[in-house]
């Protein structure tokens, strides 16, 4: 019976193409045909791969996530950041002490004795960021950012290098981290473009391979494929609406059947007004996708406990926000989003999906103020959610089939504005998964002195060494985008890398 849904979806899309201005090829026809070559590269049956984007909305101060730990380098870091933070003696300092940061297992390329934020430890005996790095499951990418072209400090200072549009602006930089396109404003993201290429490799799926836990987003919006949003509890259906899969038993509440018919009739109308049409298409597709998704998801259980689950024990040091009236414990919100993502991975076969992306946004990193105190809570939230995520993947045997990467609007200024830091440029990110060549820091971690060779302006802005294009290329290739199609997904990639089967940074295992 579920295939019936896909037919209606098909009808809807064919209809849309038939009357729309796009004209030539109807959406799914186009997809199935144009991507035959791509599909061939995905012929093996059990080769599931999932890519998770953990987005830190607001611009994480990631030089306090990954920082130099060895003597001289740490001293430089501390000096630039206004000294070691101390609530009483130096409340304006932004540096964390050598004693408090957690040392990472040294790697041969490591010149700085890297450490990570104090809240990156294990939890409940399960590995956190620090240990996952030590186990080779997690890699950092340092000083990564949006670039038009590679640019030196000299070029920046003499205004002879091209800069991304809207540098330092949340809206522009967020968009560019979703699209990799830094020269213009586009609403098409690289996971969306990848899905345009890869979706045909999925097996007759009714649900988009791009699943969002955080609503509409640019990253997952393609020309033809866009995100299917779910909540922490999965998908929902209209009140008193009878799905096709439900048996229309005699004696079933008459009102339900009548409402269902009326809703379907309302959504069948053709509209001249384009907002009417958009609204109606959206609701119809949402209902159909949710009908296909809901039963499988509701039956998908995992035993690993996430923050918010009954029986989950947070660390003793953690105090959830005091205001119960909003009930917004970020650990619970983020944890339950991760849990929903893993539960969705578990039902990949029922959904007919061999490739998936997940978008999880954790906002609130715009720390112009109280960066030390707030990050202490927020990094802990992230770390504990990742502990549970990794354990849940282990429960399902998916650790090598799911790769998580982080992104954020920008790094923040190395210098203090009093108790916080301001918008800057390059920053540090990490990648987690069994397919990751972990345990090392990729890119070239900058020297953090204000006169360092990648540090510009009096505020301490780092000019990125690694472009987002290179970073994303690693992930897109792993997901299955053929090297020849990489420029279709990351339009500016050739500026930094000649596409081949070997990724530009070597983060991902072959």
Partner 1 sequence: MLTPPSPVSTTIIRFLPSIGRICGLRLIFSCFIYSSAHAIIDLNYNGLSDAWELKFSTGSLAPSADSDGDGFTNLQESIAGTNPFNPASIPAAAITFPSAQRSDAQWFGESGKYYSLETSPNLTQWTSAVSAIGAGGLLKTSVATGGAPRFFVRLRASDLDSDGDGLSDWEERTLGFDPIRVFSEGLGNSSSTPSVRTTDFERVRDLLKKTAAHTITIATSDATMSKDWPDPGAVVIRRTGRLDPVTITFTLTGTAVAGSDYAPSSSGTATIPLGADETTVTFTPLPRTPPEADKTIIVTLQPNASAGYTLGNATSATLTISNDGKPAAKAVARFLTQATFGPVDQEIARVRSRGFSGWIDDQFKREPNLHMPIVQTWRNEIGGDPTPTAEIDHRLEAFWRQAMRTDDASDPLRQRIAFALSQIFVISDRMDSLNADHRGMADYYDTLLRGAFGNYRDLLEAVTRHPWMGLYLSALVNRKADPAINRFPDENFAREIMQLFSIGLWRLNPDGTQIISNGTHLDPDGAVVPAGEPIATYGQSQISVLARIFTGLMYGTRFTTPTDFTEIPVTTFSRSNGVPWRPMRMFDLEHDMAAKKLAFPGIAPLELPARTASVPDTGAAGEADLRATLDYLANHPNVGPFISRLLIQRLVTSNPSPAYIGRVSAKFADNGTGKRGDLRAVIKAILTDTEARDYGPSKSPTHGLLREPYTRFVALARAFNAAPANPKSAGGRYRGFGTLNGDFLQRPLSAPSVFNFYSPDYRPPGAAREYDLFSPEMQITNSVSSISVPNRFSGAFAVTSSDANATKFNTATQSDNPATPDVDESSWNTRADEAAWLVDASGDPDILVARLDRTLCYGNMSPATFRAITRAIRRLADPMGTTDPAVRDQRGRVRLRVAAHLVALSTDFSVLK
Ranges within 30-49 binding partner 1 (CB under 8 A) = 30, 32-33, 36
Q: Which of 235, 195, 508 is nearest to 353 (CA)?
A: 195
- Label residue 142 exposed, middle or buried (CB < 10 Å: 0-12, 13-18, 19+): buried
Question: Rounded to an integer, what distance in angstroms lies between the CA atom of residue 484 and that of residue 22?
Answer: 25
Q: Least distance in Å: CB of 298 to partner 1?
A: 15
Site string for partner 1, 173-212 (x = CB under 8 A): ------------x-x------------------------x
Q: Least distance in Å: CB of 188 to partner 1?
A: 9
Q: By CB under 8 A, name the one of 121, 434, 460, 491 that touches partner 1.
A: 460
Q: Does 393 bind partner 1 (CB under 8 A)?
A: no
CA angle 230, 376, 177 (to 5 degrees): 50
Q: Which is nearer to partner 1, 103 or 167 (CB)?
A: 167
Site string for partner 1, 58-77 (x = CB under 8 A): x-------------------
Rounded to the nearest 10 degrees, how much is the dihedral formed by the CA atoms of 168, 172, 176, 179? 170
Question: Rounded to an integer, what distance in angstroms lies between the CA atom of residue 35 and that of residue 25?
Answer: 13
Q: By CB under 8 A, name the one of 124, 136, 161, 166 that touches partner 1.
A: 166
Q: Does 107 bind partner 1 (CB under 8 A)?
A: no
Q: By CB under 8 A, name the one of 39, 41, 48, 92 that touches partner 1.
A: 92
Q: Least distance in Å: CB of 156 to partner 1?
A: 11
- Per DSSP, the three-state class of 400 is coil
* Interacting residues with partner 1 between 283 and 312 (CB under 8 A): 283, 285-287, 289-290
Q: Least distance in Å: CB of 161 to partner 1?
A: 12
Rounded to the nearest 10 degrees, how much is the dihedral formed by the CA atoms of 202, 208, 213, 215? 160
Beta strands in 84-187 (DSSP E): 102-103, 115-116, 138-145
Classify the phi-psi angles of 281: left when phi > 0, otherwise alpha if psi is within -120 to 50, otherwise beta: alpha
Q: Which is nearer to partner 1, 123 or 339 (CB)?
A: 339
* Interacting residues with partner 1 between 225 and 254 (CB under 8 A): 226-231, 235-240, 244, 247-251, 253-254
Q: By CB under 8 A, name the one of 89, 319, 325, 498 that touches partner 1.
A: 325
Q: Which helix (H) or strand (E) holds 211?
A: strand 210-212
Phi and psi dihedrals of 149, rounded to 5? -155, 170
Q: Does 82 bind partner 1 (CB under 8 A)?
A: yes
* Interacting residues with partner 1 between 338 and 367 (CB under 8 A): 363-364, 366
């Amino acid at each position: 019976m579920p295939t019936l849904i896909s037919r209606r979806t098909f009808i809807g899309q064919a209809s849309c193409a038939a009357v729309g201005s796009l004209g030539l090829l109807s959406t799914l026809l186009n997809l199935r045909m144009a991507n035959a070559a791509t599909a061939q590269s995905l012929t093996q049956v059990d080769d599931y791969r999932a890519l998770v984007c953990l987005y830190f909305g607001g611009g994480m101060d990631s030089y306090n996530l990954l920082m130099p730990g060895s003597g001289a380098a740490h001293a430089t870091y501390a000096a630039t950041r206004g000294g070691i933070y101390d609530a009483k003696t130096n409340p304006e300092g932004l540096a964390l002490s050598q004693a408090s940061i957690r040392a990472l297992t040294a790697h041969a390329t490591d010149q700085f004795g890297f450490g990570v934020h104090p809240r990156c430890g294990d939890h409940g005996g399960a590995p956190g960021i620090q240990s996952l790095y030590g186990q080779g499951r997690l890699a950092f990418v340092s000083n990564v950012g949006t670039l038009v072209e590679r640019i030196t400090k000299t070029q920046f200072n003499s205004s002879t290098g091209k800069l991304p549009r809207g540098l330092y602006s949340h809206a522009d930089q967020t968009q560019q981290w979703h699209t990799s396109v830094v020269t213009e404003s586009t609403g098409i993201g690289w996971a969306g473009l990848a899905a345009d290429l890869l979706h045909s490799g999925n097996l007759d799926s009714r649900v988009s391979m791009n699943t969002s836990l955080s609503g509409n987003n640019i990253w997952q919006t393609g020309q033809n494929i866009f995100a299917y949003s779910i909540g922490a509890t999965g998908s929902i259906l209209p009140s008193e609406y009878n799905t096709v899969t439900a048996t229309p038993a005699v004696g079933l509440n008459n009102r339900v059947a009548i409402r269902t018919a009326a809703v379907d009739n309302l959504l069948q109308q053709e509209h001249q007004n384009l907002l009417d049409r958009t609204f109606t298409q959206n609701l119809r597709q949402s209902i159909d996708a949710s009908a296909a998704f809901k039963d499988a998801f509701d039956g998908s259980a995992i035993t690993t406990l996430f923050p918010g689950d009954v029986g989950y024990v947070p660390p003793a040091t953690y105090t959830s926000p005091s205001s119960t009236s909003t009930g917004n414990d970020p650990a619970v919100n983020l944890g339950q989003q991760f849990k929903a993502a893993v539960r969705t991975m578990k039902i990949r076969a029922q959904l007919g999906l061999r490739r998936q992306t997940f978008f999880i946004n954790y906002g609130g990193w715009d720390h112009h103020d109280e960066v030390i105190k707030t990050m202490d809570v927020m990094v802990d939230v992230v770390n504990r959610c990742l502990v549970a995520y990794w354990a849940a993947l282990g429960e399902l045997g998916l650790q090598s089939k799911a790769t998580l990467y982080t992104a954020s609007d920008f790094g923040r200024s190395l210098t203090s504005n009093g108790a916080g830091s301001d918008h800057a440029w390059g920053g540090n990110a990490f990648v987690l998964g069994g397919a990751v060549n972990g345990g090392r820091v990729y890119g070239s971690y900058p020297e953090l002195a204000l006169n360092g060779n990648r540090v510009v302006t009096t505020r301490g802005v780092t000019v990125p060494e690694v472009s987002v294009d290179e970073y994303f290329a690693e992930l897109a290739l792993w997901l299955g985008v053929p090297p020849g199609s990489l420029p279709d997904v990351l339009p500016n990639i050739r500026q930094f890398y000649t596409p081949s089967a070997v990724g530009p940074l070597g983060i991902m295992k072959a």
